[in-house]
Amino acid sequence: MPTQNLYEIRAISGYKVYYYDEVPSTNDVAKEIAKRTREQKAVIIAESQTHARGRNRRHWISPRGGIWLSILLRPKVTPEEATKLTFITATAVAGTLQNTLGLATEVKWPNDVLLNRRKLCGILTEASTRENVAECVIVGIGINANIDLQSFPNNLQDSVTTLKHELGCEINRETLTRNLIQSFDQRYKRLRRGMWSALLQEWKGLAKFLGEKVVVTSFAETLVGKALDVDADGALIIKLQNGALKKVVAADVKPVALSSSG
Ligand code: BTN
């Protein structure tokens, strides 16, 4: 049985759909489309990507069978506001996985969706700005869907997972993608109506790492502490081992076993 069927989505209500077999990165294609069209809302989907990016320009493995897409929006907000889109996207992914497949996932600051504590989905939000206004925002979403775990290098096999690995079967990517865009759009509309606080609360309800001991690694330093909260700007607040509170705006967060806490 072929394990990686093509899926082709031509339209999702309110979003123009651009569908490709293979591209370097759907985020880059979305930027090109933003430059040459006036699309207000579009989704760029590819079966595979050759040069996909994750946060901090890390390579993102994108073989056939995954859900690799970028949402193009023109919300005319500050770049700081645009980061809120990452949070509402993560809750949209988690909600869609729950409603469509019955899977209980969790979110991890700043941009991950985890299943059984392993990374299932990553989100990369990028904005093109002029005079402190995000002229267009691209929300890139990568979901490891119908992919064998063995497709990932050995050193990642303990930290990532795929829907196929967890469920033991392939899922219908078309249904999941449609539901995801609809779920995202509902939250995007609520965000536009000023409902950020409720949306952040929703995200926090899925953030199981809050209250846990974490190692926080940024380009400047590595910190160990307890993840206390995420503030209204989306920054992570951690309580360091000396009791001081520290606000973190960009870093990787890794929960560590509480038994090793000091
Ligand atoms: C991360 O967790 O570091 C973010 C990963 C984002 C990957 C997606 S796949 C679709 C889109 N195109 C890209 O090049 N990256 C994003």
Integer Cα distance of 240 and 224 in angstroms: 6
pTM of the model: 0.95
For 223, residues 6+ apart whose C-beta sits below 8 A from its C-beta are 215, 216, 217, 238, 240, 246, 248
User: 152 vs 82, 147, 189, 219, CA distance in Å?
Assistant: 31, 9, 36, 25
**Predicted pLDDT at 2:** 41
Give 216's strand partners: 223, 253
> Is 31 close to ligand 1, i.e. is its CB under 6 Å away?
no
User: 186 vs 27, 88, 95, CA distance in Å?
Assistant: 22, 10, 12
∠ at Cα 188 (183, 190), nearest 5°? 100
Integer Cα distance of 178 and 12 in angstroms: 7
**82 CA distance to ligand 1 middle (Å):** 16
**Predicted pLDDT at 249:** 93
- Pocket probe for ligand 1: among 111, 124, 143, 161, the residue whose CB has the most ligand atoms within 8 Å is 124
Integer Cα distance of 189 and 193 in angstroms: 6
The label of the residue with tokens 């939250």 reads: 187
- Pocket probe for ligand 1: among 20, 23, 68, the residue whose CB has the most ligand atoms within 8 Å is 68
Burial class (CB in 10 A: 0-12, 13-18, 19+), 124: buried
* Residue numbers in the chain where pLDDT is lower than 50: 1-4, 258-262
**Predicted pLDDT at 260:** 42
**Predicted pLDDT at 5:** 55
pLDDT 10s digits, 103-116: 999 999 999 999 99
Cis peptide before 110, with omega less than 30 degrees from 0? yes
